[in-house]
Structure 1
Amino acid sequence: MAKSKLELRTEHAEGRTIMHVGGEFDLEVASQMRAALHSLIEQADSRVTLDLRQLKYIDSTGIGILISLIKALHARGVSFDVVHIPPHIRKLFDMTGITPFLMKPESSI
Structure 2
Amino acid sequence: MVTNKFTLRTENREGQTIVFVGGEFDLEVATQMRAAMEPLIELADRRLTLNLQDLKYIDSTGIGILISVVKARHARNAPFDVEHVPTHIRKLFDMTGITPFLAKAE
For the residues of structure 2 that align with 1:54 and 1:16, how far apart are their CA atoms? 20
SS of residue in 1 equivalent to 2:89: helix
Equivalent position SS for 1:85? coil
Pairs within 5 Å for 1:95-106? 95-104=95-104
State, as a whole percentage, how many aligned pairs show the same letter: 70
Q: Which runs of 5+ in 1 are unaligned?
A: none
Gaps of 5+ in 2: none
Please tell me whether the aligned partners of residues 21 and 54 of structure 2 are also in contact (alpha carbons under 8 angstroms): yes
CA-atom RMSD in angstroms: 1.8
Cα distance in 2 for residues equivalent to 1:35 and 1:61: 14
Provide the secondary structure at the position in 1 that maps to 2:54: strand
Cα distance in 2 for residues equivalent to 1:26 and 1:68: 15
Summarize the Cα distance change of 1:87–1:93 in structure 2 as closer, same or farther, 3 Å threshold.
same
Task: Tell me which residue corresponds to 1:64.
Answer: 64
Q: Could you list the runs of 4 or more consecutive aligned residues of structure 1 that deviate by over 6 angstroms after TM superposition?
A: none
Counterpart of 1:52 in 2: which secondary structure?
strand
* Equivalent in the alignment of 2:5: 5
Larger Rg: 1
* One-letter identity of the residue aligned with 2:73: L
Quote the residue 2:75 is aligned against.
Answer: 75
Deviates more, 1:35-44 or 1:94-103: 35-44
Number of residue pairs aligned between Structure 1 and Structure 2: 104
What is the TM-score with the length of structure 1 in the denominator? 0.87
- Correspondence for 1:89: 89
Aligned-pair distance for 1:12?
Answer: 1.1
